[in-house]
Each structure stands twice: as C-alpha cells, then as structure tokens.
Amino acid sequence: MSIWDTVVRQLINGLILGSFYSLVALGYSMVYGIIKLLNFAHGDIYMSGAFVGFFVFGMISVALGGGWLSIVAAMLSAMLFCGCLAWLAQKLAYRPLLNKAAPRLSLLITAIGVSLITYNSVMVITKGQFKFMTTALSPTAGLTFGAVNVSWIQVVLVLTAASLMALLSWFIGSTMWGKAMRAISLDKDTCRLMGINVNMIIGLTFFLGGSLAAVAGTMACVYYGQIHFFMGYMMGIKAFTAAVIGGIGSLPGAMLGGLLLGLLEAAGTQVSFIGSEWKDVFSFGLLIVMLIFKPTGLLGATEIERM
C-alpha cells in the first residue's frame, strides 16, 4: 500500500472515530455549558445506547431484515431510551442538588455514582458477556480510491454524524428552546424571572445529549460488530478529552475537538515509535499539552468569576 493509500485510509478511520468522539463530546459540552457539571455518567449512556440498539435490532431484524431499515429503527429506539435515561438521571440525581445550590463537588460525585449504577446494571443484565452484531450489509461494497475501499457503512456513519451535528447547531442557534439554553448558560436566575422554565430546558439538554450518545453507541455497534458493558468508560474519557481540547462548553469546540482527536489518533498509529498500543498515551499527552498552553481549549472562552 502506497503512502497516499495509507493517508486516505487513516483519514477515513480518523473521521469515523472522530465522529463517535464528537457526538459524545457534544453531550459533555451541552451539560457543562448549562449547569457547569462534568457528567461522567455520559460515557455509560453511550454504552447503554449500544446495547439498546443491539437488542432492538435483534428483535426487529427477523421481520424487517438485517439492513438499514432495522438499523435506523434500532437507532431511533436507542435515542429515545437514552434520552429518557439521561433526563431521568438529571431529575432524580442532579436536580435536587441544583435546587439546593449544592457545591460542584457534590454534583461531580453524584455523576460518578450515576455512572457506577448504570455500568453495573448493564453488567448484571448482560452477565458481563460480549455481544456480537451481524447485519446484512456488505462490509466491502462502496467506493474505491486506489487500493483503499470505503464501504457504504463508513460513508453513512460519517454523513449521519455530520447531519446530526448540523441539526443540533441549527436547533441551538435558531429555535426558542436553543435560545433558552444559551440564556440559561449565562444566568439561570434572570431566566426564571423572565418566565423561562429552567428545569424543563435543563431536562431537554440532558435528553438531547443522551440521544446523541445513543446514536454514537448504535453506530459503534454496527461498525465494530461487538459491544461490552465497559465500552463506555474509555469512550467517556476520550470524549471528555475531545470536549476539553475543543473548549468545554462550546458546541463547535466539541465537534472540532472530537474530529481532531480522532484524526490525531489515526495518524499517531502510523508513527513507528508510537503504534496503535500507544494511541491512548498519545491522546492524553495532547490533553496535557493543551491544558498547559491553552487551558480554555481551541474555541473556549475565558470565564471571569466575580467575587
């Protein structure tokens, strides 16, 4: 394989991996932007979405076949389930603390508790076993660039992620709910005085973030063909890293950070002294460098806290 073919292959791998990171990182940034919470349970929402998509696909593929129709139905079911799961977590675990103006450390510890509950619940339900998904889609059918084959699965996954990110950007920037989210991120108390239902908007934010994580989980299930109950841990950490690189709280930053991290990981595996086994070290090394030289991230804004 020529250098050009290697570059194209790693570019495709980086875009797919970056799409997963971006979709999950958006949930981190949305929640942090509106209530300043690092929701470390978000990676487990991603994992739950993968399992819901897997089980729904298994049930309906008998009637609809193992093609795109079953995959779309599984993805929509996972989005609804994980959106409701994220909404329920904020209502039962986070909202009582927010209403009492609890310290951020209390919220952070609660998020870790929600993560452990979700993680262990899925482990018990699945008995800790790997699950394997087989679709009727051809893994080789698609486009060819030299010696590199780009499957239709890869094309659809990237286009789906890009479309959802564009739709979210439109929603945040052009709808009343999106404007309410941006207003609450600036001043919740003033928004309450203006008649905005703050709790409802916060719940909507969690729902949207959970739905996007479910899309990433279902996409990973289709692309890799296997899932496991601890898959959310590393994805959650990597997506958080992407959000910090892009600028935590910035939606364009989360998208950029996710794509950049995916591309850098894919490129790093081709460096002779790094290799694929060092890609996590490469990613977190980048995070440390970013925090040292630009702690607000690429697109993050400096916040000034008045005493």
Phi, psi for 144 (deg, rounded to 5): -125, 130
Residue 271 in this model has a pLDDT that exceeds 70 = no
Q: What is the pLDDT of residue 218?
A: 94
The CATH architecture annotation of domain 3-293 reads Orthogonal Bundle (1.10)
Rounded to 5°, the CA angle 67-84-250 comes to 90
Q: What is the pLDDT of residues 41-99, one digit of tens each?
A: 999 999 999 999 999 999 998 888 888 899 999 999 999 999 999 999 999 999 998 88
**Contact by Cβ (8 Å): 262, 21:** yes
Measured distance CA(238)–CA(12) in Å, rounded: 19
**Contact by Cβ (8 Å): 6, 265:** no
Measured distance CA(261)–CA(245) in Å, rounded: 8
Q: Please report, rounded to a whole number, the percentage of residues in the chain having pLDDT higher than 70.
A: 95
Measured distance CA(281)–CA(109) in Å, rounded: 26
Residue 303 in this model has a pLDDT that exceeds 70 = no
> Sign of the CA dihedral 75, 79, 82, 84?
negative
Q: What is the pLDDT of residue 307?
A: 39
293: number of Cβ within 10 Å? 7
**Contact by Cβ (8 Å): 242, 300:** no
